Amino acid sequence: SVHMGRHCWALIGPVPGDGAGPPAPERVLFPPTFSVSEIKNKQRRHFMFLRWKQQQRKEKLALKKKRRKEREALGDKAPPKAVPKTIENQRVYDETTVDPNDEEVAFDEATDEFAPYFNRQTVPKILITTSDRPRGRTVRFCEQLATVIPNSHVYYRRGLALKRIIPQCIARDFTDLIVINEDRKIPNGLVLSHLPDGPTAHFRMSSVRLRKEIKRKGKEPTEHVPEVILNNFTTRLGHSIGRMFAALFPHNPQFIGRQVATFHNQRDYIFFRFHRYIFKSEKKVGIQELGPRFTLKLRSLQKGTFDSKFGEYEWIHKRREMDRSRRKFHL
């Protein structure tokens, strides 16, 4: 019988000492049909939910121990471990996933807007600017970003339209334009435009951390050219975005500086980190974060340079259509 009393215990089987049948089995907190949401009292419902979670953890741990003992008993005959299911390895296949040996992709990349950079015909020269009249935090972020990207120059806008800045950048041989937008004094957007012919990518920016906000940070970065690591940009769209980031940094990284800039794509969020290698011995190496750090989410990719009215868009993130499945990614 199941009885939900004052302490919400569930007793299964006869009570010991009543003389009816064999000794009672172990006490079970919750019968299979029990639902915490049926409890009306909020405090008791919360208490019972915590107890239920505790019971679930115990059962999971007991099952884990049982399986480990079985594997030890079987030894070499034990079946291979099951691969845990994650959103990444259950990802819906994207037909635009790039094959490294695809001739069509190789031809497109050999003739796209970034080909002069990858053919070493141009040297990156970056202009970092802001939305109109930036505040302190955005200003500091731009200054720190300029120490990460070599050959970059910071310009703070004062009422000058972006369409007027682009021709001036092209005339001064800038290869890329980065615009940091802010909302309520917090950086919340990044526009990256490759010059002179585009494309232009618009990102939402979040989780910005300046150097002083990072725990156990290293000393100020040096002027050495860093290595660049691009992770998990697997689709055609991802390749375009990865090539945009790569084109910000000069060729021939100076390994003596031990600095590395990482753009890591996971579930369409691009995490940026800036580290320095710390060689502890000939075999052991650690990393030390230098900062800043931030996270980007692609909102749109536009052909040509920035044009909010008449620009032709290659890709726009439409949440209601594209975010129906948690296992579908675009980069």
- Binning the chain into helix, strand and coil, the percentages to the nearest 5 are 30, 25, 45
Instruction: Choose between 179 and 20: higher pLDDT.
Output: 179
pLDDT of residue 71: 85
Amino acid at 196: P
Rg (CA), the chain: 28
d(CA 223, CA 41): 62
Cα–Cα distances in Å, from 121 out to 117, 200, 247, 305? 6, 21, 12, 21
Per-residue pLDDT of 1-46, as tens digits, reads: 444 444 444 434 444 445 555 555 455 566 667 788 888 889 989 9
Question: What is the predicted pLDDT for the residue at 6?
Answer: 45
What is the pLDDT, as a whole number, of residue 131?
Answer: 87
Where is pLDDT greater, at 294 or 215? 294
How many whole angstroms separate alpha carbon 234 and alpha carbon 245? 14
pLDDT at 3: 45
- Residue 295 sits at φ, ψ, to 5 deg, of -125, 135
Instruction: List, for residues 53-68, the tens digit of each pLDDT value.
Output: 999 999 999 999 998 8
Tokens, residue 189: 């957007």
Interatomic CA distance for residues 176 and 173, integer angstroms: 9
Global pTM value: 0.76
Q: Which residue has the higher pLDDT, 274 or 110?
A: 274
Nearest C-alpha neighbor of 236 from the set 301, 182, 312, 185: 301
Q: E strands within the chain?
A: 126-130, 152-155, 176-183, 186-194, 200-209, 227-231, 259-266, 269-279, 285-289, 293-302, 313-316
Which of 192, 193, 248, 195 is CA-nearest to residue 225?
248
Q: For residue 194, which of 167, 176, 178, 217 has the smallest C-alpha distance?
A: 176
The Cα 288–Cα 252 span in angstroms is: 22
CA distance 2 to 21: 18
Q: How many CA atoms within 13 Å lie on the side-chain side of 272?
A: 23
CB 206 within 8 A of CB 297: yes
Structure tokens belonging to residue 190: 């990044």
User: What is residue 5's predicted lDDT score, i.e. its pLDDT?
Assistant: 45
CA dihedral 265, 286, 251, 257 (to 10 degrees): 140
Helix segments in the chain, DSSP class H: 42-74, 103-111, 115-118, 136-148, 162-171, 236-246, 319-322
pLDDT reported for residue 8:
44
CA gap 163, 177 in Å, rounded: 12
242 token code pair: 């990865």
Q: Cα(315)–Cα(331) distance, rounded to whole angstroms?
A: 11
Q: How confident is the model over 283-309, as pLDDT tens digits?
A: 888 999 998 999 999 999 999 888 777
Residue 228 pLDDT greater than 60, yes or no:
yes
140/90: higher pLDDT: 140
Q: Check residues 271 and 15 and name the one with the higher pLDDT.
A: 271
User: Of 83 and 264, which is predicted with more confidence?
Assistant: 264
